Structure 1
Amino acid sequence: MSDATQDAPAHPGTTQTGKTAWTKFLTATEIDTRLIGMVAALLIIWTGFHLYGVIVNDFGAFLTPRNLWNLSVQTSSIGIMACGMVLVIITRHIDLSVGSILGFCAIIMGTVQVNILPQFLGLGHPAIWIITVLVGIAMGACIGAFQGALIAYGAIPAFIVTLGGLLVWRGSAFLVARGETISPVDETFSLLGGGPYGAIGATGSWIVGLIACAAVVLLVLNGRRQRTKFRFPQHPVWADTFIAVVGCAVAIGAVLLVNSYPWPRGIVRRYTQAEGIEIPEGGLFISHGFAIPVLILLAVGIVMTVLLRRTRFGRYVFAIGGNPEAAALAGINTQWMTVKIFAIMGGLAGLSAVVASARLNSATNALGTLDELYVIAAAVIGGTSLAGGVGTVFGAILGALVMQSLQSGMVLIGFDAGMQQVVVGSVLVLAVFLDILYRRNSK
């Protein structure tokens, strides 16, 4: 007999067959239901803003290559910090200072590359942007480690330490720059913020997309090989095939999307004049391709996922989040782990400062204001539980995309800043409520 016949409900009209088929699908593919929910919510948000813009308000379509490309760039800074916030929240802590750390690191990097390094290396030296990036990341990591030490060894609650940090580092940024905006930044450094020149073009994007497809297929094949090696039950072939096909489809679709967004005509004209290229009669189409900030975000997401899921450090993070006392009794140095987790968070805030200040082409002490709220919201919406012990990096990135989609859509609609904050706060509370319901139903 077929599976459908065996799983038929005892009474006509019941939905047991559908539920069983859905449960079998989730079990075979091991897809998190919260991930499906986030993807569905994102599609609803995009479709809603698109229809509202086209039919009701007539401000233009939301689902255009230009808007989605800009959306990906805008998500990068928040998404990078959300990757670190996952570790912090999993271990039952919180970091309210990430936005201020971003602003402080941006000011330090602006001072270094505009006021200090040119005096020694010369204006436009190729090492300026490298040194600046390293200084920003190192500064953020040191600040994070310092706050982590106060939390771990000083036994001060993370809420208090990072709340103080929110004020201290914002004020320090103002004092360092004396309230002034530092600009313009190094030309090569500014490419890290995106823009037509801060993207890898059509060819580079296809290379990235094909590498992503190959990686998805290799991961699926390696998973089957590892299950055979350790004598674990294999996934159905159709389930692994489904995962591989969906992964490759997403990668190829992303490439087609970013390659369909051309450079503005004014920039194309300046570029062709500088390069001595003649523009054809029908115009010259130059694709943006993937923006550099998006590639940085993807690289951070991959590294943090490997760190969290494939290393001893990651196992310790989940152990501490699940039961801190038991983790300490098991021999885990929870204090030193806390310092390292907050150092990673600070380093990622410094990296976000690189992206944010490069995109703005300047450094200001107001940069990153209220970013801590969006970062925490992104992590929670992405499935990281405030109760600790649960969270995924790519879920947080998806949560950041949801938050940025809401913000960008509301700007297009014409909502003022107050209404935007109301919506963001409401979404955060709703996300925590849904997490509570999910945890209650999964017991």
Structure 2
Amino acid sequence: MSDATAQTPVDRARASHLGPVARFLKDTELDTRMLGMVGALLIIWALFHVLSGGLFLTPRNLWNLSVQSSSVAVMATGMVLVIVTRNIDLSVGSILGFTGMIMGVTQAELLPQYLGFGSPSIWILAAIAGLIVGVAIGALHGYVIAYLGVPAFIVTLGGLLVWRGAAWWVTSGRTVAPMDATFRLMGGGPDGAIGSTWSWIIGIIACAAIIWLLMNARTQRKRFRFPLRPLWAEAFLGTVTCGVILACVWVANSYPWPVGIVRRYYQALGQEVPEGAYIAHGIAIPVLIALAVGIVMTFVTTRTRFGRYVFAIGGNPEAAALAGINTRWVTMKIFMLMGGLASVGALISTARLNAATNAQGTLDELLVIAAAVIGGTSLSGGVGTIAGAMLGAVLMQSLATGMILLGVDTPLQNIVVGLALVIAVWLDTVYRRRIG
């Protein structure tokens, strides 16, 4: 099928009556809600950059912003599935705090008694222990919600209190530190990044994957005789996406190690510090973890039977049950997945802090819910995207980071976050009313 015959005469006639912007959006098939969120993010960045005297859009701040967004972004991918099925999870912050404390105690106090300090397996076993606990908590919540019929709001509100108290009970309020040296790499920092060379390699591989996905999608459309995007639209999407990826790599590589760390690095090698020595951070490991989770969750939601069941339940639970979907088991698996992702968020957060504290994860549940909703997930169910939720996490962290640079007090920061959440839900209501 050629490009000229990719559309029917009726389609071409309709397209001829569209304005240039509408025709562009139709040809590229871009999501207008996602474009609106990207535009809002860019406006926020520009505003904070001006108000902070040029401090916001610097490689250092953007690199730190990406690291700080990782934990919430990971959990937001799971919250999308929870909200899509018309549920809510208010306990994710407390689960993060409890599983983080489990990881901290396991690697700092329990395992060294048997394996010795510095054993290479300590951090792996600690991470597995936290993951198992997170999935188990999610399974408990899911069972009570799906099989005992208790509303998710009540179950997870109780979980918020229970697991926050349990985190305190594990150590009687003590802060557990330090973490295993290898475990700390999951939190970023000079050692917790992959450097300039590997960052460029990953960026190039990502661009190649984008081009392959576009070509494969076009091939599949031809195979099943679906309408094709114009070639210029395919080229535009590939060019812009690859440009954004390479720009992100460039920013990550533009943030160098501090002078003191560079000096200690060369001293450890027994060498003199070269004149003008420059060592780039590159992409941080927690950012790679968040991106990997995002890719996997996108595949799960769009390419698996489980993902189709989730959106079917969110669209119409009664019809999904009549169609033979085991809605209770799917709901339970969603909360198990949410618990596991909260433990991944705990891994990143604990490694970044180099400690497990009782305040860890406080109010994270609000940030995660806000990220999912701002990212386009509808509280009415049935609608949501993983990419939107992750972008929402970056937007929420951008607000927090920008206000910190401006010296805004914490209470006012909470007011702004609360207003952002309310406005996002209001816009979602208006959007659904218009398309309805």
Normalised by the length of structure 2, the TM-score is 0.95
Residue 294 (structure 1) aligned with residue 293 (structure 2)? no
SS in 2 for 1:366: coil
What SS is found at the alignment partner of 1:428? helix
Tell me which amino acid in the other structure corresponds to 1:375.
V
Matching of residue 353 in structure 1 with residue 346 in structure 2: yes
Partner of 1:320: 313
- Is 1:136–1:350's contact at 8 Å kept on the other side of the alignment? yes
Counterpart residue number, 1:249: 243
Partner residue in 1 for 2:4: none
Q: Which runs of 4+ in 1 moved over 4 A?
A: 16-19
Corresponding residue of 2:7: none
Of 195, 198, 213 in structure 1, the residue corresponding to residue 189 of structure 2 is 195
Residue 440 of structure 1 pairs with residue 420 of structure 2 = no
- Partner of residue 75, structure 2: 81
Number of residues of Structure 1 aligned to a counterpart in Structure 2: 422
Which residue number corresponds to residue 20 of structure 1? Answer: 19
SS at match of 1:154: coil
Aligned residue number for residue 3 of structure 1: none
Structure 2 counterpart of 1:381: 374
Q: Deviations over 1:162-219 (max 9, x none)?
A: 0000000000000001100000010000110000000000011011100110010000
Q: Higher mean Cα deviation, 27-36 or 174-183? A: 27-36
With over 3 angstroms needed to count, the CA separation of the structure-2 counterparts of 1:69 and 1:207, relative to structure 1, is same
Q: Pick one of 83, 94, 112 that aligns with 1:100.
A: 94
* Distance in 2 between residues matched to 1:38 and 1:131, nearest whole Å: 39
Give distance in 2, aligned partners of 1:370 and 1:195: 24
What's the counterpart of residue 51 of structure 2? 52
Equivalent residue for 1:11? none
Alignment partner, residue 231 of structure 1: 225
Q: 1:29, 1:277 → 2: CA distance?
A: 54
Instruction: Give the letter aligned to residue 338 of structure 2.
Output: M
| 1:17 Cα deviation from its structure 2 partner | 9.2
Name the residue aligned to 2:168. Answer: 174
1:137 and 2:128 aligned: no
Matched AA of 1:25: F
Deviation at 1:278, TM superposition (A): 2.1
Question: Does residue 258 of structure 1 match 2:245?
Answer: no
Residue matched to 1:118: 112
Higher mean C-alpha displacement, 83-92 vs 135-144: 135-144
> Per-residue deviation at 1:150?
0.2
**2:215 partner letter:** L
Distance 1:220 1:226 in 2: 10
CA distance in 2, matches of 1:134, 1:25: 48
- Is 1:34–2:27 an aligned residue pair? no
Deviation, 1:137, is 1.3
1:237-259 per-residue CA deviation (whole Å, 9 max, x = no partner) reads 11111111111001110111000
Shift of 1:400: 0.3
The separation in 2 between residues aligned to 1:21 and 1:138, in whole angstroms, is 53
Alpha-carbon distance change, 19 to 369 in structure 1, aligned in 2, over 3 angstroms: farther
Q: Name the structure 2 match of 1:219.
A: 213
Query: Runs of 5+ in structure 2 lacking a partner?
Result: 1-14
